[in-house]
Amino acid sequence: MPGGLTLPTLCCFLLWVFTIFHKGQGDPASHPGPHYLLPPIHEVIHSHRGATATLPCVLGTTPPSYKVRWSKVEPGELRETLILVTNGLHARGYGPLGGRARMRRGHRLDASLVIAGVRLEDEGRYRCELINGIEDESVALTLSLEGVVFPYQPSRGRYQFNYYEAKQACEEQDGRLATYSQLYQAWTEGLDWCNAGWLLEGSVRYPVLTARAPCGGRGRPGIRSYGPRDRMRDRYDAFCFTSALAGQVFFVPGRLTLSEAHAACRRRGAVVAKVGHLYAAWKFSGLDQCDGGWLADGSVRFPIITPRPRCGGLPDPGVRSFGFPRPQEAAYGTYCYAEN
């Protein structure tokens, strides 16, 4: 060998370099250790509003000393909200969700989280993190609610909301801003809407099934995006999401003004339904009524399960709208909502 370097010497030198390099890189293979959390069988847990949901987190074995920390990953905010911390014997809840959350404790290795009375805002991504001071690890799960997405704009017309106003508008109509995945699911189920709206992550999009010139051009169907937008300055509609109801929606016929509609519902121990109530009743209770009725926001709408002539004029099921008539116009019935 040139320079007197023999083959055995060269091999030993290369082995020494390889070992030093991998120690410097923190090669996991050089620090074998137990992985305490078992991977979940299902990473997506399906539920609905009002139900009790269980997010599974199970240890294969327990370290000598540890804590389990549950948190919720808030979309678009790059932060996590602490829910509950346990050391296997005692648990402490944090924040608004902590009061409805508890440990399942099915057995000594069970660190699963139980959420009672699931709400719309509970949907999202959760993290179960085991902290033992040496090698922390975590599993992530997604709580997905069965629901319906509906586009919403106020009586003033289209493109009136900044992000925060859109968020408030959805909450006022018994909903919350929809996520991108919820909008995508609604698109696959037939939502075709040509007005752009805010989503929970802060993006602005609209779903197109039938591509057409006035609606983004004649490209392929899909979810069209407006790209990054200023949450304070830019104004669009809203895409809202709601889930199953705890009560029921029913129709009161008549030729009522908006104030008379409120009185008619009160006499029946109910309130005038919100837009989200009507969509949820249409989606989950099969409400089919070919009569326009007042809603709490001053709009007049009606739900159709089975399309038919002279009942909205469209070939697909959906909630039809007459817009926002004058509140003094005595021409419609009303949809009421009563808690069970």
d(CA 175, CA 93): 26
Do 146-240 and 243-337 come out as alike in CATH topology?
yes
**For residue range 32-75, what is the model confidence (pLDDT) as tens digits?**
444 889 999 999 999 999 999 999 999 998 888 899 999 999 86
Contact 141, 73 (CB under 8 A): no
The least confident of 145-154, 240-249, 309-318 is: 309-318
| Superfamily of domain covering 243-337 | Mannose-Binding Protein A, subunit A (3.10.100.10)
Q: At which residue do the structure tokens 């979309």 appear?
A: 75
Contact 305, 290 (CB under 8 A): no
**For residue range 172-191, what is the model confidence (pLDDT) as tens digits?**
999 999 999 999 999 999 99
- Our CA angle for 44, 49, 51, nearest 5°, is 80
The values of phi and psi at residue 104, to 5°, are -70, -45
What is the percent of the chain where pLDDT is above 70? 89
CB atoms within 10 A of CB 103: 19
276 pLDDT above the threshold of 70: yes
What is the percent of the chain where pLDDT is above 90? 72
Contact 144, 44 (CB under 8 A): yes
- Band (pLDDT 50/70/90 cuts) for residue 287 is very high
**Mind giving me the DSSP string for 238-280?**
EEEEEE--SEEEEEEEEEE-HHHHHHHHHHTT-EEPPHHHHHH
CATH number of 35-143: 2.60.40.10
255 pLDDT above the threshold of 80: yes
CATH number of 146-240: 3.10.100.10
102 pLDDT above the threshold of 80: yes
Q: What is the pTM of this model?
A: 0.82
* Residue 299 CA, distance from chain mean position: 25
- Band (pLDDT 50/70/90 cuts) for residue 15 is very low
Q: Average per-residue pLDDT in the chain? A: 88
Contact 282, 306 (CB under 8 A): no
The domains of the chain are located at 35-143, 146-240, 243-337
- List the structure tokens of 122: 């509970």
